[in-house]
């Protein structure tokens, strides 16, 4: 009888350990997903603000009087935004 009881306890202990590990993994995954969503939202807000600034600068360029001034302004804006090109 003693051998049977110890094997049942070992099985219960193994199952409990597995369940605890799975619950811990679930908590870690939830925390990582929360961080990832917050990061994505912050990146989207930053991108939207940069796009708004670019649209404002583009609108100022189109408010200029001549076509050459407009194109020169747009070229200068493109160089400021993308210095690699």
Per-residue HEC secondary structure of 29-65 comes to HHHHHHHHHHHHHHHHHHHHHHHHHHHHHHHHHHCCC
Amino acid 6: pLDDT? 65
pLDDT bucket at 27, cuts 50 / 70 / 90: very high
Dihedral sign for Cα 26, 32, 34, 37, please.
negative
CA distance 81 to 55: 12
**Count of domains forming the chain:** 1
The whole domain housing 24 covers 2-81
Average pLDDT, the chain: 85
Instruction: Inform me whether the pLDDT recorded for 1 exceeds 50.
Output: no
pTM, to two decimals = 0.57
Cα–Cα nearest to 28, from 20, 38, 40: 20
Phi, psi (degrees; rounded to nearest 5) at 43: -65, -40
Of 13-22, 23-32, 76-85, highest mean pLDDT: 23-32
């Amino acid at each position: 009888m003693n051998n049977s009881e110890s094997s049942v306890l070992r099985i219960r202990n193994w199952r409990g350990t597995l369940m605890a590990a799975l619950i811990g993994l679930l908590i870690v995954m939830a925390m990582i997903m929360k961080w990832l969503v917050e990061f994505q939202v912050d990146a989207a807000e930053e991108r939207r603000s940069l796009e708004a600034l670019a649209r404002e600068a583009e609108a100022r360029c189109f408010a200029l009087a001549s076509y050459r001034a407009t194109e020169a302004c747009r070229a200068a804006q493109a160089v400021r935004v993308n210095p690699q090109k």
